[in-house]
Amino acid sequence: MSMTLASITTKTPPLLASYAFPPSLIDDDHDDDHDDDHDDDHDGGDKEEDAQHLLFCNVHPQKPISITLSGPHIFLLSATLLLSLRFLGPHPTECILLLTPLLVLLRNDYENFLNLGPGGTPSSVYGYLQITWWRLWALRDPFTAPSPSSSSSSSSSSSSSSTTISSSSSSSSTGGILRQLSPQQPDLPYRSGPRPIVAGIAPQRQLDQHGSRHSYQTLRRAMVKLATTKPLLFGTERSCVEKHGLALFAKHALRTNCQGEIVHVHESDHSMHMCLHPEDIEVVLGKGWGQRHPLARRGWLLRMPVSQNFVMIYAPRNQHELQIVYRIIEAAIWYTSEERVSLS
């Protein structure tokens, strides 16, 4: 018998005056620049990094429920049932029989929640209860893009909570930029192979196809480089949404986000989250590069913690996919601040 509940397969900010660069980020970047010189000369370096990046992955596989009873266990279980019927009666015994698999199921589900690693909710019983509640409102189809009209109508005034993401009423005033507009800007290609297995809500993580450590470090350097070359427009810091991982911020965001956060990247699985225009979301989902966040939906009875435009982009597995991810992040920058930049 196998079952996994934790898996769900298959969104005017204050001006940021300054951004600090933690020493760990700076040290890693200098080390990676030195490593890149060797990787360009030796193809074997990528294979070594692909093998080593598994050591940094904090996402563990989701555990299905599997119960194996040996002969002594079967005898002990039968004796326990007989004694329960004899001394407790039929009704308490029925309750025990019903509660036992439920407790096993909850324990397995809680362990799967912890196996996803740190994220936007604490890795505790309280965090698990939060996710259990939000799971009731999760999307059933994360591969259908929201309509521009519904995305615009879902926007409202900013929440007092710093972790809430919402779209402004002008979210549909400009179109997306990922469709082919000219021969110099080709259409977004299809992602090769099947989609990765994705689980969880907060955190939401890939369980496979984590990509290479080299691509992850290159992406981080591109984000930091953009912030250092355009310090009046962008900055990098720890994610406001995730509370973990590096994030790129817009200092003058036109569309409300968590302190102007544009994108954050997860160190555990190398995937990322960002807000995109509905037209760009349609392109990304149709070409297989990502999926919507489970809570990226319109809330009828309560305010959802993310907007309908909040999407997960899969981890780049090679240099070609990294260039595509750059284009998607550039679209997120355009959607948040209407700034046209190049990360590549």
Query: Does the pLDDT value for residue 241 go beyond 80?
Result: yes
- Tell me what pLDDT residue 149 has: 63
Percent of the chain with pLDDT over 70: 73
Say if residue 330's pLDDT is above 50: yes
161-165, 286-290, 338-342: which has the minimum mean pLDDT?
Answer: 161-165
Task: Compute the average pLDDT of residues 172-198.
Answer: 81
Kindly report which listed range (69-73, 180-184, 338-342) carries the lowest average pLDDT score. 180-184
pLDDT mean across residues, the chain: 78
pLDDT of 220 over the 60 cut: yes
Give the residue with greater pLDDT, 40 vs 79.
79
Least confident of 71-80, 241-250, 312-321: 71-80
Give me the pLDDT at residue 50, please.
44
Q: What is the pLDDT of residues 129-172, one digit of tens each?
A: 999 999 999 999 999 988 776 555 444 333 333 444 444 434 44
Give domain limits for the chain.
23-58+138-337, 71-133
**Reported confidence tier of residue 101, pLDDT bands at 50, 70, 90:** confident
Q: What mean pLDDT do residues 296-310 have?
A: 86
- Predicted confidence band of residue 180 (pLDDT cuts 50, 70, 90): low
Averaged pLDDT for residues 182-201: 87
User: What pLDDT does residue 76 have?
Assistant: 86
| pLDDT score recorded for residue 18 | 35
* Residue showing tokens 């002594």: 72
According to the 3-state scheme, what is the secondary structure of the chain? CCCCCCCCCCCCCCCCCCCCCCHHHHHHHHHHHHHHHHHHHCCHHHHHHHHHHHHHCCCCCCCCCCCCCCHHHHHHHHHHHHHHHHHCCHHHHHHHHHHHHHHHHHHHHHHHHHHCCCCCCCCCHHHHHHHHHHHCCCCCCCCCCCCHHHHHHCCCCCCCCCCCCCCCCCCCCCCCCCCCCECCECCCCCCCCCCCCEECCCCCEECCCCCCHHHHHHHHHHHHHHHHHCCCCEEEEECCCCCCCEEEEECCCCCCCHHHEEEEECCCCCCEEEECCHHHHHHHHHCCCEEECCCCCCCCCCCCCCCCCEEEECCCCCHHHHHHHHHHHHHHHHHHHCCCCCCC
Note the pTM of the prediction, 2 decimals. 0.73
Residue reference for tokens 């324990």 = 107
